């Protein structure tokens, strides 16, 4: 008799609202179906810069949180009813720190996320949530890189 060994019990997919981040969903769902793992989607609302005028800060923060909540609700509607998503979380804080905190808090054993593939000055300026998660994660992390768009070859006709 063969005993099935489950590699992953809980998969976390951090989402930033971009189409690129959502590409991690397909991979996470395939892994979950194959292992029986539960999948949690996480959307983090980051704090606004302190340089924003105090009068506008509260309104802009509310707008960012409302937009993130609408995104999560819209995503729920788009997911196939057969998807093995067990939870969708909406949290506030620094993206990388919040992802790492939640992963430890909820016994996540695999984080599946994408990378924008920035380099040089752009990476330095924008920072890299993915890199911070890779460095700080206490569980396995699967990073899917942005696929370059293929340039079609010219067709020669005789």
Indicate which CATH number applies to the domain containing 18: 3.40.50.620
3-state SS, residue 114 = strand
In a domain, 74, yes or no: yes
Return d(Cα 83, Cα 26) in angstroms, integer. Answer: 10
Range of the domain at 40: 11-145
pLDDT per residue rounded down to tens, the chain (158 residues)? 555 556 899 999 999 988 888 889 889 999 998 888 999 999 999 988 777 787 788 888 899 999 999 998 898 888 877 778 888 999 999 999 999 999 999 999 999 999 876 655 555 544 689 989 999 999 999 999 876 444 445 555 55
Return d(Cα 142, Cα 8) in angstroms, integer. Answer: 12
In a domain, 158, yes or no: no
- The DSSP code sequence of 16-79 is -SSHHHHHHHHHHHHHHHHHT-EEEEEEEEPPPPTTS-HHHHHHHHHHHHHHHHHHHHHHHHHS
Return d(Cα 118, Cα 126) in angstroms, integer. Answer: 9
Domain count of the fold of the chain? 1
Beta bridge partners of 69: none
In a domain, 108, yes or no: yes
pTM: 0.81
Burial class (CB in 10 A: 0-12, 13-18, 19+), 135: exposed
In a domain, 89, yes or no: yes
In a domain, 43, yes or no: yes
In a domain, 156, yes or no: no
In a domain, 6, yes or no: no
In a domain, 73, yes or no: yes
Return d(Cα 34, Cα 36) in angstroms, integer. Answer: 6
């Amino acid at each position: 008799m063969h005993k099935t060994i489950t590699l992953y019990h809980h998969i976390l997919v951090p989402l930033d609202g971009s189409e690129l981040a959502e590409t991690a969903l397909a991979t996470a769902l395939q892994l979950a179906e194959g292992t029986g793992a539960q999948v949690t989607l996480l959307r983090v609302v980051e704090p606004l810069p302190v340089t924003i005028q105090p009068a506008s800060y509260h309104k802009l923060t509310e707008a960012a949180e409302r937009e993130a909540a609408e995104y999560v609700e819209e995503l729920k509607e788009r997911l196939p009813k057969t998807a093995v998503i067990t939870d969708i979380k909406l949290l506030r804080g620094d993206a990388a720190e919040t992802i790492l905190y939640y992963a430890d808090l909820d016994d996540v054993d695999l984080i599946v996320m994408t990378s924008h593939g920035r380099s040089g000055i752009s990476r330095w300026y924008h920072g890299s949530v993915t890199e911070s998660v890779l460095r700080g994660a206490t569980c396995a992390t699967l990073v899917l890189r942005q696929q370059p768009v293929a340039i079609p070859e010219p067709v020669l006709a005789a």
